[in-house]
Amino acid sequence: MEAIDVQNQVMGYDRAATMFSPDGHLLQVEYAEKAVRWGSASIGMICKDGVVIVSDRRIREELIMAESANKITEIDEHIMSTAAGILSDARVLIEQAQLIAQQNRITYDTEINVESIIKEIANQKQKFTQYGGVRPFGASVMVAGISGKTPKLYVSDITGNYFSYKATAIGENDHKIKDLLREEYKTVKHVDEAIKIALGIFKKILDKEYNEERFDVAFIKTADKKLSRITTEGLKKYE
């Protein structure tokens, strides 16, 4: 496979996101997927009483204010989002999603459902794999929220596909995290349990680098449908 990839690059099939290689690959899209796996990880989980996202901020500069590096963003009061990869790319997509959510409230006087948001993000990503003169968005976006009274969790990949999940991970070590989720998610019933399991998984993955200060944690419960955050001090009770 490596020999084929090298040949494709020599032939110049990776010069544009719109150019298929002879074996049917869009190489610029695949390179963007590698950028996602360099990004810091996030875990999302659906519970009976809501939905949770736990994100690793991975702050390496001691002078940065931790709250300025929060990875979880509110799209609407009942929807939140995080991303892995090039976060500046993700910010553009999330800001568009925020605008769409507010337009829906103004136009229809009702909250937008979660799938409509991820679909808009996915559509925008797909466009940037189809037209010349642009590059793919180098970010995988996770969107979680409450549609009606049902918790929802979606992830959109580089190509513009999106899927609904019970629990998933994006970013660095996502395969290892998903393996651990397959083992441990079965016991999740409530938001507090999901947060404890997610932090436990990060502790296994990060080992000596684990520190509560590096995590951004938020949840939305079906009861009030409002985003809530947990401070670093608040995370200590989940140890």
Beta-carbon neighbour count of residue 104 at 10 Å? Answer: 17
63-100: pLDDT as tens digits:
777 777 789 999 999 999 999 999 999 999 999 999 99
For residue 78, the domain's CATH number is: 3.60.20.10
For residue 109, give its domain range. Answer: 2-238
Return the pLDDT at 9. Answer: 59
Question: Where does residue 185 rank: exposed (0-12), middle (13-18), buried (19+ CB within 10 A)?
Answer: buried
Rounded to a whole number, what is the largest CA-CA distance in the chain? 56
Return the pLDDT at 25. Answer: 81
Pick the range with the lowest mean pLDDT from 43-47, 100-104, 195-199, 206-210.
Answer: 206-210
If one counts the domains in the chain, the total is: 1
102-155: pLDDT as tens digits:
999 999 999 999 999 999 999 999 999 888 788 899 999 999 999 999 999 999
Closest by alpha carbon to 220, among 84, 44, 93? 44
pTM: 0.91
Mean pLDDT to the nearest integer, 29-40: 90
Q: Is the pLDDT of residue 3 over 60?
A: no
